[in-house]
Amino acid sequence: MAVTKVSVEALRILEPLSSLAHARLKELAQLCCIESVRRTADPFHLRPIAGQSVYVVRGELALAYGQGSSEVIVGGSAEARYPVGKRREITSAKAVTEVQMIRIDDDLLDIMLTWDQAVMQEPNRVNQPAGRPASAPDWGNMSRLFGIDNLRFGAFSHLPPAHINELLRRFERLAASAGEVIVREGAEGDYYYLVESGRCQVERMIGGVSMTLAELKSGDTFGEEALVSQAKRNATVTMKTDGSLLRLSNQDFDVLLREPLLHAINMEQATQKVLNGAQWIDVRYPSEYQYDRLPGARNIPLSEIRNAFGALDMDEEYIIYCQSGRRSAAAAFLLAQRGYRALLLEGGLWGGDRLP
């Protein structure tokens, strides 16, 4: 079964892809392929159709449905502009001739369509803070911040669709200069930030010495830990280059991001989930963990949680805890932003009886 890259032109004639902007189609073209199927073969025998939108772009594909109905989809026809098997369940499929098809992940397509339809309604909706000029962004053709990878796995991947319009409306956009301090360690948390362009440096005072912790780029976020845990800023973030940032106030952050992403359960519910395969993650310092941990818990301190992105299994469910629930709330939010199934132990170890 041969596989080749798909062109933007091939995607543009398909529905509902035809409504997507050129930049979106170009991104999508990098993520899907044209699949060749030999004559008489069943294209869905080894690769099932479930969870996919499949388009016939060349050749003839015979499809059988329940109750004896059937049809032949011919590549290039009006019917072939739409994905097969979406209205009726396919019971069997056979290539009448050699067939070429395009497969697209349904979740990916739904995310793209949701965001594009949301931003098309009002393309220039970011608020401009007084005294901080910046051109109004075109959301549909924005930098990597709203690229496909970020929408699938980044800060907005689990945002309820109902909140998208309001989120875009409430963002403020700031032009920032190299060397400018955006947040300072020890200050109150007031905004959540996303880097639209440029790079930032994250530093923290350790033993009286300023240590560089990370460098942030377009699409990265910062400031959420202080807002979720209702604590002081734990690091200083400085612009390393000129760039632009999007920020969301503390109040808007709580309503539009924190509440949808942060899900708390009590000890009884958490214990049952652990019995069913979920894993405890203790985000306290190792000294606290060694002294007072739950059985089977894994220790990933809050300061190290970002380093766990990619190392933790996306298919696992995690119950995050600390002493009071404050540090674990920040960790659970950071994990949920990246698409992990992370739940917060309500009230932490101080919040109720220690059932385990």
Catalytic residue positions? 322
Here the tokens at position 25 are 């189609």
Nearest in space to 91 (alpha carbons), one of 48, 51, 46, 53:
48
d(CA 11, CA 349): 53
Beta strands in 230-337 (DSSP E): 236-239, 243-249, 264-265, 279-282, 298-299, 317-321
Burial of 75 (0-12, 13-18, 19+ CB in 10 A): middle
Residue with tokens 């294209």: 43
Evaluate whether 24 touches 140 at the Cβ level (below 8 Å): yes
How far is C-alpha 200 from the chain's CA centre? 21
Burial zone of 154 (CB within 10 Å; 0-12 exposed, 13-18 middle, 19+ buried): buried
Facing residues of 210 across strands? 205
Produce one character per residue of 333-351: b if its CB has 16 or more CB atoms within 10 Å, e if not. Answer: bbbbbbebbbbbbbbbbee
Q: How far apart are CA 341 and CA 335, in angstroms?
A: 8
Q: At residue 78, what is the residue type?
A: A
Spatial CB neighbours of 103, under 8 Å, sequence gap ≥ 6: 32, 33, 35, 47, 52, 53, 54
